[in-house]
Amino acid sequence: MSSDLVKFILPAEFVVERVQLRPCEVAWGYSSGWLDDEGVVTVAASLSAEGAAGDAALPLLARLATDEWGRAPELIGDVVVEPGNGCRRVWLYLALDWVHAHAELFDSPWQTVEMIYADFDYPEEVAGFVRFMPPPDGAATGFAAMEERWNEYLAAMAAEYSARRA
């Protein structure tokens, strides 16, 4: 994340329920603080159980015992992370999905969306449901319209990432 305005850890169960991550996405999510030691081990174990192809470090992570979770940074450090948005785009979706699904946990879900928007360097695909941004040309205004665009974004990303499991 660029400015780290948002700080929360996503539960591994939530992540694996929604996306089969690629190795670089696991590494980026962990190094960016979206997963903790337990979470990265759980995600790696899920990928191994699903038979996902991947980096050699992930099976090692998957086999870490509870008292070995401290080795996670060392092992995940061996995973190659692609430059650019290739490994982090999924975390934008996951963070926004978490906020949407758990809005009651946030003082202001809309403000949290704005902070995520900033942390991910203002992605155009999210601008339509950021309060201070104008709506897309010809689109409705107001919170109901923004909520609809947020739902549409989440549905599109869920469809895109579910294709990985096919």
Mean pLDDT value across residues 107-122: 96
Whether the pTM exceeds 0.85: the reply is yes
Of 11-25, 55-69, 103-117, the poorest mean pLDDT is in 55-69
Residue 1's SS3 state is coil
Looking at the structure, tell me whether residues 56 and 114 fall in a common domain: no
Of 44-48, 58-62, 78-82, the poorest mean pLDDT is in 78-82
Res. 60: pLDDT tops 80: no
* 115-125: burial string, b at 16+ Cβ within 10 Å, e else: bbbbbbeeeee
Could you give the percent of the chain with pLDDT greater than 70? 88
Looking at the structure, tell me whether residues 102 and 62 fall in a common domain: no
Q: Which residue has the higher pLDDT, 1 or 140?
A: 140
Q: Residue for token digits 């090692």?
A: 60
Instruction: Give the residue numbers spanning the domain of 59.
Output: 12-76
Q: What is the tally of structural domains in the chain? A: 2
Looking at the structure, tell me whether residues 113 and 157 fall in a common domain: yes
